[in-house]
Structure 1
Amino acid sequence: MDEDLEHMSRDQLLAEAKRLRAGIRGHRDSSGHALCWHHPALWGLLPEQDAPRPIVPDWPQFLRGCIRYRESLDEQLPDAPRSRAPYRE
């Protein structure tokens, strides 16, 4: 799957590492409502173009998952700053 790396020069590998790090940082640095979004730009950093389509849960299951995700943030980041900013498109 990663055979392309075997044929890259040192400079190409460094450029690839920097590109991937920038993508990871962009995802890591998302905050607020952006935490809940589908992130195709992050997955687009991979060389394979035939990524599987996600399975989307029905609304009740999806909302339970959102609530559980938010609860996990309280558990993992209890001292993180909080925001009351409404969602805006």
Structure 2
Amino acid sequence: MDDDLQAFDCDAVIAEVKKLRAGIRQHRDSTMRGCIHYRQSLDNQAPDAPIHDKEFNG
């Protein structure tokens, strides 16, 4: 599945990473409160972790 990566030079890898990061940010920001499934996963994996209950205005 990832065999195409072997042919990438450094510039192509950087471009691909930037494209993927932009996609991740777009998905993350699409609901303004983050991905619900991601949040639930964190809650399940670390139920005793401290909770930050303030909105992020970044």
Q: Tell me the TM-score normalized by structure 2.
A: 0.55
Aligned partner of 2:46 in structure 1 is none
Structure 2 residue ranges without an equivalent (≥5): 44-50
Aligned partner of 2:23 in structure 1 is 23
Identity %: 45
CA shift, 1:2, in A, is 0.3
Segments ≥4 residues shifted beyond 2 Å: none
Structure 1 residue ranges without an equivalent (≥5): 37-68, 82-89
Q: How many residues align?
A: 43
Cα deviation, 1:14-35, whole Å, max 9, x if unaligned, reads 0000000000011111225xx6
Q: Tell me the TM-score normalized by structure 1.
A: 0.38
CA RMSD of aligned residues (A): 2.8
Inter-partner Cα distance in structure 1 for 2:6 and 2:25:
25
1:79 aligns with 2:57: no
1:13 aligns with 2:19: no
CA shift, 1:8, in A, is 0.6
